[in-house]
Amino acid sequence: MRLEINGWSSKITFSATHIIPGHYKCGRLHGHDYAINATIFGTIGADGVIMDFISVKEFLRKIAAELDHKVLIPLRDEGVKKDGDSIRYSLRGKEYLFPLEDCALLDVAVASAEELADFVLGRVKEKVHFPDNVSRVEIGVDEGEGQGAWTGIDLKA
Ligand SMILES: [Zn+2]
């Protein structure tokens, strides 16, 4: 059985700016409305539910709030450098300078929906307690409605 959390209807959304280096169009600074979705797989527990998903929603909303109205900076891109209170981002002959307070610093190589999904899943894995009857968790990050990237992890070996 699975439990689905739709980020759009649950208001787990954020708006942010990013760049996809080397892409003919997305290589320019631009923004999206994003939503974070989740699917939780498991069996029904003694209390009649897979798990209390309100806590998962609240956790995902916190992550969305951290990213909201920020420039998504991929810290693993070698063109990204901290420069005092700024982030200098050099790529393919262009240079951007962003105030640090406007940036969300992410441990990813590219600020794509795919890597954002991995980033969110990593946080969920680290901080959310799943009961034993939950077997798998999947996270999807949508860049606009109807297009997104999903990743997941099995909780039992
Ligand atoms: Zn984009």
Query: Using one digit for the tens of pLDDT, what is the confidence trace for 26-40?
Result: 999 999 999 999 999
C-alpha of residue 155 to centroid of ligand 1, in Å: 31
Whether residue 157 is predicted with pLDDT greater than 60 in this model: the reply is: no
Q: How high is the pLDDT of residue 104? A: 98
84 domain-assigned:
no
Enclosing domain of residue 116: 2-71+109-147
Q: Cα–Cα distance between 1 and 16 in angstroms, integer?
A: 33
Cα torsion 98, 102, 108, 110: sign: negative
pLDDT tens per residue, range 43-80: 998 889 999 989 999 999 999 999 999 999 999 999 99
Total domains in the fold of the chain: 1
28 domain-assigned:
yes
C-alpha of residue 23 to centroid of ligand 1, in Å: 10
Q: How high is the pLDDT of residue 46? A: 87
19 domain-assigned:
yes
103 domain-assigned:
no
C-alpha of residue 30 to centroid of ligand 1, in Å: 6
C-alpha of residue 4 to centroid of ligand 1, in Å: 25
Q: Cα–Cα distance between 17 and 31 in angstroms, integer?
A: 4
The environment of the single-atom ion ligand 1, i.e. residues with CB closer than 5 A, is 26
96 domain-assigned:
no
Active-site amino acid positions:
26, 69, 143
CATH code assigned at 38 = 3.30.479.10
| All residues at 6 or more sequence positions from 8 whose CB lies less than 8 Å from its CB, including other chains | 35, 142, 145
Q: How high is the pLDDT of residue 22? A: 87
pLDDT tens per residue, range 95-150: 999 999 999 999 999 999 999 999 999 999 999 999 999 999 999 999 999 999 99
C-alpha of residue 24 to centroid of ligand 1, in Å: 11
62 domain-assigned:
yes
Q: How high is the pLDDT of residue 156? A: 74
C-alpha of residue 31 to centroid of ligand 1, in Å: 6
Q: How high is the pLDDT of residue 11? A: 97
